[in-house]
Amino acid sequence: MIRDAHVNGIRLRYREEGGPDDRPLVLLHGRTADHNDWNGITQHFARRGRHVLVPDLRGGTARASIRARTPCTRWPTTSPRCSTT
């Protein structure tokens, strides 16, 4: 399940699988990636009694870095990043 945590005004997205009482396992993705790198693997460990947490590291996703470098004219005008209000 994909969840969001709001910490100090910042939204942090993470994937969570398994029970909260299971032994925790944190999986980290590499640069320019996100929690999707661990698709399938999270369920594998959850079925084996692990509480798997996979955070999206800030600034690490390819989508985030591309959007940061791309002018708003290249994105749909409905993008909240390009809002003029």
User: What secondary structure does DSSP assign to 33-61, as a single string?
Assistant: --GGGGTTHHHHHHTTTEEEEEE--TT-S
In a domain, 79, yes or no: no
Strand partners, 70: none
Residue 61 lies in a domain: yes
Confirm whether 26 is domain-assigned: yes
Evaluate whether residue 78 is within a structural domain. no
**Domain-located, residue 84:** no
- Round to whole Å and give the CA distance between 12 and 35: 12
Residue ranges making up the domain that contains 19: 2-71
Token pair in block for residue 9: 């005004």
State the pTM of this model.
0.64
Q: Let me know the angle formed at the C-alpha of 61 by 56 and 40, rounded to the nearest 5 degrees.
A: 60
Number of domains in the chain: 1
Is 7 within the bounds of a domain? yes
Q: Is residue 85, in this structure, part of any structural domain at all?
A: no
pLDDT in tens, 11-35: 888 999 999 999 999 998 877 777 7
- In this model, does residue 7 exceed pLDDT 50? yes
Separation in Å, CA 74 to CA 8, 52, 56, 61, 64:
30, 37, 25, 19, 14
